[in-house]
Amino acid sequence: MFAYRRSIAAVALTLFAVSACKKKPEPAPAPAPAPVAPAPVAPRINQDSIEAARRAADAAAAKAAADADARRRAAEMESVRNTIAAKVYFDYDKDEIRDDQKATLDAKVGIMNANSAVRLRIAGHTDDRGSDEYNLALGQRRAASVQRYLVSRGLTASRFETVSFGKERPAAQGENEDAWSKNRRGEFEIIAGGDNLRMPR
Amino acid sequence: MTKRLAVLLCSVVCLLPSAVLRSQDTATVKGVRIGLTYAPGTRPGVLITPVGGPNADSVRVMLARDLDFGDRITVIQSDGGEPPTGTLNYPVYASLGAAAVVQASVTPAGSLHVVVHDVGGARVMDVADYPLPAPALGAEWRLAVHRGSDGVERVVTGAKGIAATRAVFEHEGMLWIVDSDGSQAHAVSGTEGGLSPAWHPSGRYIAYDELANTGHQTIVVRDFTGGPSRRFATRHTLNMSPAFSPDGNTLAFASGDDGTDIFTVAPFGSSSTTRLTAGPGATSNASPSFNPDGRQMAFTSSRLGHAEVYIMDADGTNQDLLTTTSFGDQLYRSDPDWSPDGRRVAFQSQISGVFQIMAINLRDRSVQAFTSEGRNTEPSWAPDSRHLLFSSTRSGTSQLWVLDTESGRTRQLTRAGKARLGAWSPRLDTGR
């Protein structure tokens, strides 16, 4: 029994000692950390730097956002311009709009509606097989045929100017159907309202 | 005549007449070349003696070439030597096959003096002088020599030649002019974008279609004497294919924004236009060409769905399809040009997808095809209603060629780059 008590006492003593040993190196509570206390002169510079950095970061972020927006706008403008400029093609000695070309024209309609200041020059072209003079007339009919189609889709005729280059400005060289088919075309050029083009919403 | 030539002629004429007759088509004897180009017997032989005075060789070459190009005369050439003096030995010339002898000289006063001898009649047929404007060998000097050639042709054949003419054409984005013999080719300044040139009957003006970089096309009348060019604005963006009436007081052209119609305007008066055609619908009516009395014109129209040649009265009435003949499955005829004698309308017609030059006779509507080699387009009659100027790819690139519709003989007029849309001038009797 005595031995048992001694054991308990020893364990308690040991535990105490251990705990005493643990506590001993514990330092006094540290003084308040330096940043918390407002510093009189030098820390002011640091603060300016930080704010400058923050402003710079903000500016960079804004610039990045603006750049991204500009890129998006540029891509959008590019897309709009490409849609506007997309050519349409014709059959030999014909001025009728082919069924497979209507989607190309329909895509322009939305853009013209979203950009009410835009005016287009439609230029009719021909391949080089026909008469030089008659081709000038045929090219004009092609341009007018395109204009009629766009007007039939709700656009105002006064937003278009039609001209013909006949066979004078070939897009492709060659005496074969591949070149001829590329040359029998209508081309589109923005002649007014081309700034700040918008995508249709 | 040179001693060498005289000896040769003597030996040929006196000793070997049968040999001469046998060798006429092919012989080239030193000193004398005797050549019948073709169709012997139908073209009087003309011998041009050596020419006296400054630039004599040039004059002689030009006269011989002009008479040859006229296709009504067989030129009998003799080389070099001195100009003949005194009375000509007509029997000697007769033995060479010459029906006429041309004796020319450049006078100290600067004129071309031309004497035409009738060999059979042993007499002088005609004497004429053509003032030669300075500088020698310049454009106007050469035109005066060409007038001398035309005078000879008229005296010998009764038909006036076409040497004193020029052609205007498109080359590398401008209009150019070339003499009838292919010389003196030069650009007409200020004609950038020029297409479809046409001559005024005076030869003083041309009208043409100016194609701007925007695609807008404007009819322009250009004055070769230095007067201001006149531009004819219309409410349409397309204005093309001008043609003057034979009296020079009307200018017809095609204009439109969709289909095109033919309009007339006074080239030197009011700018108000008169419309002659009205569609139908979006029809292309273009390329007018007046008949010689100015009361009718031929033109191209797409009213049947493809290009054909029509005629109408000059006020737009009585429009009638001209090219009704079956041409096979290629439905494309265009670019009419009414001959100055009124008898034929030349046009281009697609045969197996390639254009060829044809003419329709207005009396019986018979059609004659003139070409088959290469692509042949844009016919333009010479003032003699016998020769045609046209564009052809037969040499590889598009060039201007001249066709004699009587014999089928052709010659190449231009050689540099590409040439097209040629228009043959009227006779330039008074220069420009």
pLDDT in tens, A14-26: 444 444 444 444 5
Position B314 scores a pLDDT of 96
Question: Measured between CB atoms, does B355 come within 8 Å of chain A?
Answer: yes
Is the residue at A78 inside a domain? Answer: no
Position A3 scores a pLDDT of 45
Is the residue at A111 inside a domain? Answer: yes
Distance CA B254, CA B263 (A): 6
Is the residue at A3 inside a domain? Answer: no
Cross-chain residue pair A123–B195, CB shorter than 8 Å: no
What type of residue sits at position B403?
L
Residue of higher predicted confidence among B382 and A76: B382
A134 vs B257, B259, B334: nearest CB: B334
Question: Measured between CB atoms, does B421 come within 8 Å of chain A?
Answer: yes
Is the residue at A64 inside a domain? Answer: no
**Topology (CATH level 3) of domain B3-157:** Rossmann fold (3.40.50)
CATH of B166-424, one of 3.10.180.10, 3.90.950.10, 2.120.10.30, 1.10.20.10: 2.120.10.30
- Cis before residue A43, ω within 30 degrees of 0? no
Question: Measured between CB atoms, does B334 come within 8 Å of chain A?
Answer: yes
Question: Measured between CB atoms, does A145 come within 8 Å of chain B?
Answer: yes
Average pLDDT over residues A154-166: 97
Query: Which chain B positions have a beta carbon within 8 Å of A136's beta carbon?
Result: 195, 209, 217, 238, 240-241, 286
Question: Measured between CB atoms, does A144 come within 8 Å of chain B?
Answer: yes
DSSP state letters, B225-261: TSPPPEEE--SSSEEEEEEE-TTSS-EEEEEESSSBE
Q: How far is A64 from chain B (nearest CA, A)?
A: 40
Cross-chain residue pair B214–A133, CB shorter than 8 Å: no
Cross-chain residue pair B260–A168, CB shorter than 8 Å: no
Q: How confident is residue A38, by pLDDT bands cut at 50, 70 and 90?
A: low
pLDDT in tens, A93-138: 999 999 999 999 999 999 999 999 999 999 999 999 999 999 999 9
Query: Which chain B positions have a beta carbon within 8 Å of A170's beta carbon?
Result: none
Query: Which chain B positions have a beta carbon within 8 Å of A123's beta carbon?
Result: 215
**Domains contained in chain A, number:** 1
Is the residue at A56 inside a domain? Answer: no
Structure tokens at B97: 């096959």
Position B331 scores a pLDDT of 82
Question: Measured between CB atoms, does A106 come within 8 Å of chain B?
Answer: no
B411 neighbors B382 (Cβ within 8 angstroms): no
Cross-chain residue pair B215–A93, CB shorter than 8 Å: no
| Residue position matching structure tokens 């050639």 | B149
Distance CA A111, CA A201 (A): 9
Position B191 scores a pLDDT of 96
> Residue A186 pLDDT more than 80?
yes
Which helix (H) or strand (E) covers residue B364, if one does? Answer: none
Query: Which chain B positions have a beta carbon within 8 Å of A129's beta carbon?
Result: 353
By C-alpha distance, the chain B residue nearest A93 is: B306
Query: Which chain B positions have a beta carbon within 8 Å of A162's beta carbon?
Result: 237, 257-258
Q: How far is B332 from chain A (nearest CA, A)?
A: 8
B257 vs A131, A132, A162: nearest CB: A162
Is B388 in a helix, a strand, or coil?
strand
Is the residue at A26 inside a domain? Answer: no
Is the residue at A187 inside a domain? Answer: yes
Question: Measured between CB atoms, does A63 come within 8 Å of chain B?
Answer: no
Residue-number span of the structural domain to which A113 is assigned: 89-192
Cross-chain residue pair B332–A130, CB shorter than 8 Å: yes
Question: Measured between CB atoms, does B423 come within 8 Å of chain A?
Answer: no
Cross-chain residue pair B300–A133, CB shorter than 8 Å: yes
A162 vs B237, B284, B420: nearest CB: B237
Give the pLDDT of chain B (432 residues) as one tens digit per residue. Answer: 333 444 333 333 333 333 333 333 333 334 333 333 334 447 899 999 999 888 998 999 999 999 999 999 999 977 667 888 888 899 999 999 999 999 999 999 999 999 999 999 999 999 999 999 999 999 999 999 999 999 999 999 999 899 999 999 999 999 999 999 999 999 999 999 999 999 999 999 999 999 999 999 999 999 999 999 999 988 899 999 999 999 999 999 999 999 999 999 999 988 899 999 998 889 999 999 999 999 999 999 999 989 999 999 999 999 999 987 776 667 899 999 999 999 999 999 998 889 999 999 999 999 999 999 999 999 999 999 999 999 999 999 999 999 999 999 999 999 988 999 999 999 997 543
pLDDT in tens, A146-158: 999 999 999 999 9
For residue A167, give the CATH number of its domain. 3.30.1330.60
DSSP state letters, chain A: -HHHHHHHHHHHHHHHHHHHHHHTTPPPPPPPPGGGSPPSSHHHHHHHHHHHHHHHHHHHHHHHHHHHHHHHHHHHHHHHHHHHH--EE--TT--SPPGGGHHHHHHHHHHHHH-TT-EEEEEEE--SSS-HHHHHHHHHHHHHHHHHHHHHTT--GGGEEEEEEETSS-SS--SSHHHHHHHSEEEEEEEE--SS-----
Query: Which chain B positions have a beta carbon within 8 Å of A132's beta carbon?
Result: 195-196, 377-378, 420-421
Q: Which ipTM value was assigned to this complex?
A: 0.84
| Residue position matching structure tokens 């236009």 | B273
Which helix (H) or strand (E) covers residue B265, if one does? Answer: strand B261-265
Question: Measured between CB atoms, does B78 come within 8 Å of chain A?
Answer: no
Q: How far is A185 from chain B (nearest CA, A)?
A: 14
Cross-chain residue pair B307–A130, CB shorter than 8 Å: yes
Is the residue at A109 inside a domain? Answer: yes
Paired sense of beta strands A119-125 and A160-166, if any? parallel
- Domain spans of chain B, in order of start: 3-157, 166-424
Question: Measured between CB atoms, does A136 come within 8 Å of chain B?
Answer: yes
Position B5 scores a pLDDT of 40
By C-alpha distance, the chain B residue nearest A144 is: B258
Position B328 scores a pLDDT of 65
Q: Which long-range contacts (CB under 8 A, 24 or more apart) does B318-326 make?
A: B319/B277, B322/B298, B322/B360, B322/B365, B323/B347, B323/B349, B323/B360, B323/B367, B324/B365, B325/B360, B325/B365, B325/B367
Residue of higher predicted confidence among A191 and A74: A191
Question: Measured between CB atoms, does B238 come within 8 Å of chain A?
Answer: yes
Cross-chain residue pair B237–A140, CB shorter than 8 Å: yes
Question: Measured between CB atoms, does A121 come within 8 Å of chain B?
Answer: yes
Cross-chain residue pair B211–A168, CB shorter than 8 Å: yes
Q: How far is A63 from chain B (nearest CA, A)?
A: 40
Cross-chain residue pair B257–A132, CB shorter than 8 Å: no
Q: How far is A52 from chain B (nearest CA, A)?
A: 54
Query: Which chain A positions have a beta carbon within 8 Å of B257's beta carbon?
Result: 140, 144, 162
Position B136 scores a pLDDT of 92
Counting beta carbons within 10 angstroms of the beta carbon of residue A133, is it exposed (0 to 12), middle (13 to 18) or buried (19 or more)?
buried
